[in-house]
Structure 1
Amino acid sequence: PEDYVLWSERNDPQVTLRGGAVFVGYGITAPEWGWDDYAGVDVKGKTVFCLVNDPGLFDPSLFKGRILTYYGRWMYKMEEARRRGAAGIILIHTTESATYPWGTVVGSNTGERVRLETAPTSLIVAGWIRDEAMGRLLAGAGLDLQKLTNEAGRKGFRAIPLPLELEASVESTIRRSSTSNVIGRLPGQGPRAQEAVMIGGHYDHLGVGVPVDGDSIYNGAEDNASGTAAILTAAEAFVRSGTTPGRSILFMAFGAEESGLLGSLAFAERPTLPLANLAAVLNLDVMNLYGLTTDIAALGADQSSLGRTFTTAAKAEGLRVSVDSGALIRGSFFRSDHFPMVRRGVPALSIEPGNQFRGHPEGWGEERQQEYTANRYHKPQDELLPWFSYESALQQLRVVLRTAIVVANAPAQPVWLQGSEFVAAGEARLRGSSR
């Protein structure tokens, strides 16, 4: 773990990877930006080494500048490597490009890994390597990592076969388990009743784990019992109001989010309705329990016409929509249960608490978030606290409900905005060919 971590991409007790290697830059094929790191190279049966993030990290004229696109996420790199028939993929880590330190990589990839049981692809082994270790590896072959990184950030870059032969074996113990998604449906009425708007979020957390101060129960009160309660409250509110929406409303509680969005991925792969009929997803992952705000946020508001609908709904509640620039740089939009549907072209928002709290000075909300991250996030201490504000969670939920009913009754579905990397996926979804 000091220099690299590897894992098997197969459901086999032992796998072995042998073959050549190719440096594919950022490992991106993005026609809308005229970018193809795989142009002119065949990586079938080989291991690809690629940088994380995207070229905009160091050149604001490329992609979306420092705002991370999906092409910069490690999940995309693996998807593209599979599509190209690669046998292995090694991601080159820097803290700046990954937006998290090497310790996070080690912690996330050296314990038990959980994934859906699916048919095997070309990938056999995947992993990460520290940039310092990659630099030493390349130096032994007469190459310079910084020079390759600079070249990879320029338009017209072409993948570089490396004078390396790799061999890696991974032994695993395989166990199988199951969980469930829970779904409810409020039927719509009229010509669009077979379409739907989803209000969803995950109900799982981390179970029983390593004790912290003598407590081993990882409750997940904020993350995400709060979102689960909001979904149930939304369902009750719709039923009690007697509202009959034009499109149906789906109330979805996903399992296995903390294991890698597995519940939502399973739904996206085997949906209960054609994805062309799923008009929008509104995701609730941690509600505001800290007090009333003057603002509210939504990841993905800049990606689709849902952003305008959400802004109007927020104004109706006396709130302005704020933008978390840090979340854009970190790519937070790609990290919760709405995203498997987004990848298949469904417009979505992940609703976030605001940061301007009534009766508190500037920066108070950020301090509360930092305190939560340091002391309670993914710890047993994320439990029910006497000072939680349910009024503020309801304030946030009312904006969600206003957004949902407008989308449910609109003549047309929301659309991706030009410049979004999901325009093509949205078009494919409506053709019935989303993947």
Structure 2
Amino acid sequence: MRISMLLAGLSLALAPMAAHAQAAPDQPAFSASEVRKHVEFLADDALEGRYTLSKGYLTAAVYVAERFAALGLVQAQTDTGWFQIAKLPITMGNPPRQRIYKAPNVIGVLPGSDPVLRNEYVVLSAHLDHVGTDPLRAGDKIYNGAMDNASGVATMLETARAFAGSGQRPKRSILFVALAGEESGLLGSNYLARNPVVGKGRIVADINLDMPILLYDFQDVIAFGGEHSTLGEVTARAGASMGVSVSPDPMPEEDFFERSDHYSFVKVGVPSIFLMTGFKNGGEKAFRTFLAKNYHQPSDQADLPFNWEAGAKFARLNYLIAREVANAPEPPRWYEGNRYGNRFAKGAPRARRPAEAGK
């Protein structure tokens, strides 16, 4: 309750900032320095690894809310303003015991322009939490989570900045969401998917950003789950417009499609994708080196050799994908016969796969 009251008060304090947002050119620019600024703040030692139940996580949540307010986004229909207070079942202690804890998802809304389609919502999500600290570890005890997932949150914020500054609101509304509890089992996204702040059945897609490897000039992306719905086609068109190809999943044995926050939306029937920078142009080496040396280690810090221009480029790609989805006459559809659609979206309209549509 104390967390809820604190964040509600902060929401009221931040709300007036939205009134001062300035109009910007129709063609959005994407800033490497903005991406860098966000990563460096979120991965600073002062936030102590952003574990979901920590003060550092709350500091990060307030930071994201401040950015949303400054961009002129609006608060979701919730009594806690920018924050949805998620109830998270977390197991801790010795012996282990599960209890319900509270932590905020941070949500900013860009209202759509169409009087009908504005009641449908496209989600851009990125988890804000990381794994915190290890007081028993020798040496550096803070797991900063720069790539995992400050890079994803930074990209989401830069995409939000581009939308807010474009001067052209899309037809559908967009929810920009920084999620709690991913590292504890996709908990914040599961709570939001099952308790949507915009009402049941109104979320039509989730585009999830989790640990893009921003260490090189990526030439391709992997859209985990793109083969299951029309979101794969949208991603391919957006990428082609900026010279970025879409590559197939290079690690199907890892089953990444079921291992990040988008899958919480899949389980309530929402077509979703999880975007990651691809393996071309040195990407495979960068990815595997990061996994071996930095993933869930104190060395995942902002002083890694980030390619900040790649962050701006990744934000642009997500902007193009989200804008097409938000402006399309029809929302994304699961493909006919797809196992996820058949399991989680019984009775929902289907689309034919591109190769079949022309027959």
TM over 0.5: yes
The letter of the residue matching 1:214 is G
Deviation (angstroms), 1:314: 0.3
Q: Does 1:182 align with 2:80?
A: no
Q: Does 1:382 align with 2:300?
A: yes
Aligned to 1:348: 272
Taking structure 1 as reference, are residues 271 and 212 closer, same or farther at Cα in structure 2, changes over 3 Å only? same
Aligned to 2:334: 416
Provide Cα deviations, 1:353-411, integer angstroms capped at 9, x if missing partner.
01112xxxxxx322222221111101111111252111112212211111111110111
Contact 2:124 / 2:156 at 8 angstroms: preserved in 1? yes
Q: Which SS does the other structure have where 1:242 is aligned? A: coil
The letter of the residue matching 1:406 is E
- CA distance in 2 between counterparts of 1:265 and 1:274 reads 15
Taking structure 1 as reference, are residues 375 and 241 closer, same or farther at Cα in structure 2, changes over 3 Å only? same
Contact 1:212 / 1:380 at 8 angstroms: preserved in 2? no
Contact 2:125 / 2:156 at 8 angstroms: preserved in 1? yes
Q: Does 1:248 align with 2:161?
A: no
Deviation (angstroms), 1:352: 0.8
Aligned to 2:61: none
The letter of the residue matching 2:297 is K
Superposed, 1:267-416 pairs within 5 Å as: 267-326=192-251, 328-357=252-281, 364-385=282-303, 387-416=305-334
> How does the TM-score come out when normalised to structure 1?
0.56
Q: Which SS does the other structure have where 1:207 is aligned? A: coil
Taking structure 1 as reference, are residues 300 and 176 closer, same or farther at Cα in structure 2, changes over 3 Å only? closer
Deviation (angstroms), 1:171: 5.9
Taking structure 1 as reference, are residues 321 and 174 closer, same or farther at Cα in structure 2, changes over 3 Å only? closer
- CA distance in 2 between counterparts of 1:177 and 1:423 reads 32
Q: Does 1:221 align with 2:146?
A: yes
Q: CA RMSD of the aligned region, Å?
A: 2.1
Q: Larger % of helix: which?
A: 2
Superposed, 1:13-92 pairs within 5 Å as: none
Provide Cα deviations, 1:306-348, integer angstroms capped at 9, x if missing partner.
101110000001011111231x222110000111110111001
Provide Cα deviations, 1:2-28, integer angstroms capped at 9, x if missing partner.
xxxxxxxxxxxxxxxxxxxxxxxxxxx
The letter of the residue matching 1:116 is L
Q: Which SS does the other structure have where 2:339 is aligned? A: coil
The letter of the residue matching 2:260 is S
Contact 1:203 / 1:255 at 8 angstroms: preserved in 2? yes
Deviation (angstroms), 1:172: 4.2
- CA distance in 2 between counterparts of 1:268 and 1:324 reads 25
Contact 1:282 / 1:348 at 8 angstroms: preserved in 2? yes
Contact 2:88 / 2:101 at 8 angstroms: preserved in 1? no
Give the number of the structure whose alpha-carbon radius of gyration is greater. Answer: 1
Superposed, 1:117-132 pairs within 5 Å as: 117=89
Taking structure 1 as reference, are residues 372 and 210 closer, same or farther at Cα in structure 2, changes over 3 Å only? farther
Contact 2:118 / 2:171 at 8 angstroms: preserved in 1? yes
Aligned to 2:88: 116
Structure with the larger RCO, 1 or 2 (CA within 8 Å, 6+ apart): 2
- CA distance in 2 between counterparts of 1:415 and 1:301 reads 11
Aligned to 1:21: none
Aligned to 2:162: 237
Taking structure 1 as reference, are residues 209 and 417 closer, same or farther at Cα in structure 2, changes over 3 Å only? same
Deviation (angstroms), 1:207: 0.9
Deviation (angstroms), 1:235: 1.1
- CA distance in 2 between counterparts of 1:292 and 1:250 reads 28
Contact 1:282 / 1:338 at 8 angstroms: preserved in 2? yes
Unaligned stretches of 5+ residues in structure 1: 1-114, 119-169, 358-363, 431-435
> How does the TM-score come out when normalised to structure 2?
0.68
Contact 2:262 / 2:274 at 8 angstroms: preserved in 1? yes
1:261 corresponds to which of 186, 201, 208: 186
Work out the number of aligned pairs and report it.
258
Aligned to 1:207: 132
Contact 1:275 / 1:429 at 8 angstroms: preserved in 2? no
More divergent stretch after superposition (247-256 vs 287-296): 287-296
Deviation (angstroms), 1:290: 1.2
Deviation (angstroms), 1:271: 0.9
Contact 2:89 / 2:98 at 8 angstroms: preserved in 1? no
Taking structure 1 as reference, are residues 344 and 385 closer, same or farther at Cα in structure 2, changes over 3 Å only? same
Q: Does 1:198 align with 2:112?
A: no
Contact 2:277 / 2:283 at 8 angstroms: preserved in 1? no
- CA distance in 1 between counterparts of 2:304 and 2:258 reads 32
Taking structure 1 as reference, are residues 289 and 194 closer, same or farther at Cα in structure 2, changes over 3 Å only? same
Deviation (angstroms), 1:226: 0.5
Q: Which SS does the other structure have where 1:232 is aligned? A: helix
More divergent stretch after superposition (191-200 vs 203-212): 203-212
Unaligned stretches of 5+ residues in structure 2: 1-86, 350-359
- CA distance in 2 between counterparts of 1:173 and 1:307 reads 41
Contact 1:344 / 1:429 at 8 angstroms: preserved in 2? no
Provide Cα deviations, 1:399-430, integer angstroms capped at 9, x if missing partner.
11111111101111110012321223224568
- CA distance in 2 between counterparts of 1:386 and 1:378 reads 14
More divergent stretch after superposition (366-375 vs 183-192): 366-375
